Amino acid sequence: MAQHDYIIANQTASTARTDINNVLQAIATNNSGTDVPTDTFPNQWFYDTNDQLLKIRNNTTTTYLNVGYIHQTNGFEVLDDTQVVSTSGTPTGGIIGDQAEGTWTTGTGTTESLISPAKLKAAIVAQPTVTIVRGPTSTATTALTHVANHGQSSRPDFVWGEVIITVAQHGYAVGDCIKIGNIYERDEDDRHLTVWGNATQMGLSTNLAATYMFVANRSTSADQLLTGQSIRICGVWYD
C-alpha cells in the first residue's frame, strides 16, 4: 500500500532514490490505501483497501468512479448494475446485475439483465395460472355441429378445435391431432367452420349441415377428404 504526490523535488541523491522508489510503489499498488490519495490526477487509479473497490478518477478530478470489486480469493468481480456499452459508450446489452424481485415476479421490467435460474423459475411460477380444458370427442362424418360444457364459469380466453384421426389416412396415423385451422370444408357452396366459446360452453358450428373436411396429404400435399375422425373443442383460461 503506497501513495505519493508524484513530485520528485530537488534533494540529495539518496533521498531522491527513496522518493522515486515511493513513486514506483504507489504506481505498482494502484495508489492503494484506506483513504483517497491527497494528490489526485485525471484518470488516476485508486484501490480502496477499506471496501476492496478498484476505482478510477474522472477526467475533471472531482470524484472516483467504481470499476470493480477485488475479491482477495476470487479476484476481479463485476459490480451490480454495470452497464454494457459499445466501444463508443452506447448502451447495447442492458445492465449486468440484479433487479428488484417484484420486477421479475410481476413481469413488468424491460431492462435487460442477468439473473439466476432460481429467480427465472420463480418469475415463471408467479405468472397467472393457465387452465386448459379439452372437451369430449364426438365422431363426425358429414354433420359437424359440436357443443360441450366446459365447467369453468367464465368465457375462455382462447378456444380452438381439434380433429383426432381415428382411421389412418393421407399420411396421418391413428391418434394424430390436427388443429381445425389446418382443415377446411369444400363443396360448390360457400361453407364455413366457426369455433366459439361463452361462459358455459365451447362449440364448433357450420353454416350447412352437410360438411366435408379436407386436409393436405402429409407426403404429397394433395387435397384429400377425411373419412374417419373425432372432433374435440378446447379452451384456455388465464387466471
User: Does position 127 have pLDDT exceeding 90, yes or no?
Assistant: no
CA–CA separation, 211 and 205 (whole Å):
10
Are 25 and 59 in contact by the 8 Å Cβ rule? The answer is no
Comparing 114 with 62, which gets the higher pLDDT?
62
Amino acid at 81: D
Query: Whole-model pTM above 0.75?
Result: no
Query: What pLDDT, on the 0 to 100 scale, is given for residue 128?
Result: 78
User: Alpha-carbon Rg of the chain, whole angstroms?
Assistant: 36
Q: What average pLDDT does the structure give for the chain?
A: 86
pLDDT band at 155 (very low <50, low <70, confident <90, very high): very high
The amino acid present at 74, given as its one-letter code, is N
Residue with cell 386448459: 132
**Over 80: is that where the pLDDT of 8 sits?**
yes
Does 234 have pLDDT greater than 60? Answer: yes
* Euclidean distance between CA atoms 72 and 206, whole angstroms: 74
Q: Is 103 exposed, middle or buried (0-12, 13-18, 19+ CB in 10 A)?
A: middle
Residue, of 22 and 227, whose pLDDT is higher: 22
Q: Which fold has domain 130-238?
A: Immunoglobulin-like (2.60.40)
DSSP state of 153: S
Cα–Cα distance for residue pair 180/208, rounded to 1 Å = 17
144, 213 Cβ separation under 8 angstroms: yes
d(CA 129, CA 237): 8
CATH 2.60.40 residue ranges of the chain are: 130-238
